[in-house]
Structure 1
Amino acid sequence: MAESPTTTVQASGVVPLRRNRRFQTLWAGSAAAMLGTCIADTAYPLLLLAMTGSPTLAGAFGAVQFGASVLFGLHGGAVADRYDRRRILITADTVRLVTALSVAVALLAHRLTVPHTLLAAAVIGATMAYGGPSRMLALRAVVPPEQLRQALSQDELRVNGAALAGPPLAGLLLGLGRAVPFLATVLASAAALGASVAVRFDPADAEQAGSPGADEGKEKGAVFAGLRYLFADPTLRATVLVAVALNVAGSAMLLAVMVLLRNHGTSEAGTGLALAGEAVGGLLGAPLVTRLHRALAPGALLLLVAWTAPLLFGVLVLAEGPVAVFGTLLVMSLGVPALRVMLDVLVFQQVPEAMRGRAVAATMTLLMGGMPVGTMAAGLLLDRLAAGTVLLVLAATLAAGLLPLTLGRGLRGTSWPRS
């Protein structure tokens, strides 16, 4: 019998989440790591542009970092299922700290080169692939099941807060000196490493990750076991595919909106303000997670959040100016935290522990892979069509994909898994 998400009353003796020192310490370290990543994602391309004057080399940083994350993503999940996750996390954070420090020192010594910077991009991408699944599972391992949604809602604040603060902070710090934002990433990496060292995960979790029972990760093709498990479960399959489709369409939509705003004469600062609506919507949507989960079954929630995208794509065609775009993106993003937490809950509560790292890594890899696909598709379309037309094409394509799921009976019969 499935359990409703309304079960939020804490059992006797359960420490309130705000007083859970292990979770809050790990969360603070994860927040520092995320903020450092968002600063780096803006500062490195700007630095390369200033060093070389080449937009291609500036864009190469993100391409190399993303490529490394995807290349090692599934293997990172297999490693998380076979070895002690705390050691993996400490190793990844240490490598990331050393990499950030090497860039900052080279800048201060006026000896930073383009190959050094691109090597840093590859290392950062690899540490995300190996450390990401272990960090996600660590946060979830130190909270009791009845606090899982509350913990995941707080984690949404970390993600959206860093996405909102990182880019402008990177620009501000870069204005103070070329090395300043990279010194900030050193401090962020040190904070993340300190949290990983300070907190021990549950013994059962550490033993499971490194136990002989996890040796199935050594079997041929076991790296893809998490991916196979996701697609074998109807609810997980539908949720992952819809999430990937939203990522593809969303990244394509953002590029089309940038072009649309430019055609309307909006400045770069105005465009930045408009696009910030996505992160603000995520911040405002995080407190709504529990209410939406209480009110809707997984299938209904999935379809509700998914259908807002094509509907509001049409609104963006009519929006004029950054304020209107900001408001539309804000509304579009309100339900995204509930959808992300839903996917997290389904994976955490339905996937066996011995396979959880690979399932998390598979999900992360699929979602990351959708973003460049969407941007590339939008670029090709924008070379041939007006920005407004591209938005309508994206809306129609997404709606066509959602229609069979909406009319079918599979998602309507879903329910929340037992904790």
Structure 2
Amino acid sequence: MKTDTATPPTAPDAAPPVPLRRNWRFQALWAGQAGATLGLQIADTAYPLLLLALTGSSTLAGAFGAVQIGAAVLFGVHGGAAADRYNRRRLLIVGDSVRLVACASVPLAMALDRLTVAHTLLVAVVIGATIAYTGPVRLIAVRSVVPPEQLRQALAQDEARMSGAGLVGPPLAGALFGLGRNAPFIGTAVASLLALTAALVVKFPGGPESRTQGTKGTKEMRGASGTDGTGGTDGTTGSALAGYRYLAGNALLRPILAVVLLINVAGAAMLLPVMVILRGQGTSSAGIGLALAGEAVGALVGALLVSRLHRLAGPGVLLLAVSWLTVPAMFAPLLPGGPVTVFAALFVVGLGIPTLRVMIDLLVFSRVPDALRGRVISATLTLFTVGMPAGMVGSGLLLDHLSPATALGAVAALLTAGLTAATAGRSLRRSAWPEQAAAPAGTPAT
């Protein structure tokens, strides 16, 4: 009897992923995100100017940004929980629709001569709240339409969007004002419409992975205590604060997030003293704006360097290197060259910003069980957002008692103290990148 020894047919190799530039779902989502980001950048410039024109009060002009950030922080806790409990795509569509209606109401009220301060500040609340609900969903949506091996490239392109919007938004708002009093607000409404259109057109997984997968993934991430840091037994249970508990319970993420939070506080605190110093040197408002644009220009260029910098050093080392560069950059306005020197210093610091943002994504967002991901993303974004108003308020208090140069020195000293403690620890210096650009949900954190 003859035995058949033929080798069984092997499965064909998996087809290579579609190049990112031809991934229409990612590009459509990217276009929608770009529209949403650009609209927010225009709003951040146009609404304070509108309130200043309506009331002549600088306090009310600054209140728009404060109210918007406050709403984003206040609703951020529930926004992350909603992303883990409800249909994410539906949440994105509803959030973008509400923001579109709010933004469109302003030029309509202006045309009817019915716009009030209360109406404008209510729009600030709505914008902040919708950011809290749609922000985590948009970050999750990108992951669902991009293969793991392309995630770093996709995130780098997303950073280019952020930097480009930050660079173009403020001058575009000024240009739109030149076309008409209500033109910038029509622009924000159109940008919101673009974001909503992308949410309607692109289909992506509407909810977290199954509870079985979420439970399994979270069990793998438990520490010696046998819990996942959420206060529950798996990522599908626990309170809306589960994201904060997860971050607090991870030995690597704690110093990473602490350093980034410190950088956000210091970066926001240095802006006002720098502007006061440049103004005292005779720099015009336009010149100050161009000098401060150095960070956005640097970040736009830095988005092209993400993969190279990630190959150059580990995440902790890169984080510390970029953070330490911020210390001497703070003293740039005291050096010869004025706005040119400030632009150059901020450009150098900005080169590393996309690297750090992608680092946070790869080490935190992409490695959290999907059932917990919305809350972790929301917690992280909220922590970073809180740092900006804290830095602004702190710099104002310093300038009430110190000269601008001394205030910069105080902020630099605070940053130096925090970075010295972080550098002395071993967890950051020994951290390593995941083996892949994005590990599957449930993979143990580095």
1:395 equivalent in alignment to 2:398: no
Superposed CA deviations along residues 350-379 of structure 1, whole A, max 9, x for unmatched, are: 211111111110111011100011011111
Question: Contact 2:34–2:165 (CA<8 Å) still a contact in 1?
Answer: yes
> Partners in 2 of 1:44 and 1:316 — Cα distance?
29
For structure 1, the 5+ residue unaligned runs are: 1-10
2:136 paired residue number: 133
2:272 paired residue number: 255
Q: TM-score, normalised by structure 2?
A: 0.87
Q: Which has the higher helix share?
A: 1
1:238 equivalent in alignment to 2:241: no
Superposed CA deviations along residues 256-305 of structure 1, whole A, max 9, x for unmatched, are: 11011011111111111111111111101111111011111111111111
Superposed CA deviations along residues 40-64 of structure 1, whole A, max 9, x for unmatched, are: 1111111111111111111111111
Greater shift, 95-104 or 205-214, is seen at 205-214
For structure 2, the 5+ residue unaligned runs are: 1-13, 216-231, 440-446
- 2:241 match: secondary structure: helix
Corresponding pairs, count: 406
> Partners in 2 of 1:91 and 1:265 — Cα distance?
48
Q: Which amino acid aligns with 2:327?
A: P
1:90 paired residue number: 93
Of 381, 391, 415, which residue of structure 2 is paired with 1:364? Answer: 381
Q: Which amino acid aligns with 2:176?
A: L
Whose Rg is larger? 2
1:178 equivalent in alignment to 2:181: yes
Q: CA 1:241 to 1:263, structure 2 compared with 1: closer, same or farther past 3 Å?
A: same
1:110 paired residue number: 113
TM-fit CA distance, 1:212 = 11
Q: Which amino acid aligns with 1:206?
A: G
Question: Contact 1:82–1:217 (CA<8 Å) still a contact in 2?
Answer: no
- 1:414 match: secondary structure: coil
1:13 equivalent in alignment to 2:16: yes
Question: Contact 2:96–2:196 (CA<8 Å) still a contact in 1?
Answer: yes
Q: CA 1:300 to 1:411, structure 2 compared with 1: closer, same or farther past 3 Å?
A: same
TM-fit CA distance, 1:138 = 0.7
> Partners in 2 of 1:392 and 1:33 — Cα distance?
37
> Partners in 2 of 1:45 and 1:228 — Cα distance?
36
- 1:410 match: secondary structure: helix
1:8 paired residue number: none
Q: Which amino acid aligns with 2:153?
A: Q
1:353 equivalent in alignment to 2:387: no
What are the equivalent positions in structure 2 for 1:5-404 lying under 5 Å apart? 12-202=15-205, 206=207, 208=209, 222-404=239-421
> Partners in 1 of 2:87 and 2:298 — Cα distance?
36
Q: Which amino acid aligns with 1:303?
A: L
- 1:208 match: secondary structure: coil
Question: Contact 2:278–2:288 (CA<8 Å) still a contact in 1?
Answer: yes
TM-fit CA distance, 1:207 = 5.2
- 1:206 match: secondary structure: coil
Superposed CA deviations along residues 162-219 of structure 1, whole A, max 9, x for unmatched, are: 11111111111112211111111111111100000000114xx635389997997885
- 2:70 match: secondary structure: helix
TM-fit CA distance, 1:312 = 2.0
TM-fit CA distance, 1:314 = 3.2
2:6 paired residue number: none
Q: Which amino acid aligns with 2:44?
A: D
> Partners in 2 of 1:191 and 1:185 — Cα distance?
10
1:7 paired residue number: none
- 1:293 match: secondary structure: helix
Question: Contact 1:349–1:417 (CA<8 Å) still a contact in 2?
Answer: no
1:417 paired residue number: 434
Task: Kindly report the root-mean-square deviation, in angstroms, between the aligned alpha carbons of the 2 structures.
Answer: 1.9
Q: Which amino acid aligns with 1:374?
A: G
Question: Contact 2:214–2:370 (CA<8 Å) still a contact in 1?
Answer: no
TM-fit CA distance, 1:386 = 1.6
> Partners in 2 of 1:217 and 1:407 — Cα distance?
33
> Partners in 2 of 1:127 and 1:247 — Cα distance?
22
> Partners in 2 of 1:213 and 1:393 — Cα distance?
46
> Partners in 2 of 1:210 and 1:265 — Cα distance?
62
Percentage of matched positions with identical amino acids: 59
Q: CA 1:344 to 1:319, structure 2 compared with 1: closer, same or farther past 3 Å?
A: farther
> Partners in 1 of 2:31 and 2:45 — Cα distance?
21
Superposed CA deviations along residues 97-132 of structure 1, whole A, max 9, x for unmatched, are: 111111111111111111111111111110001111
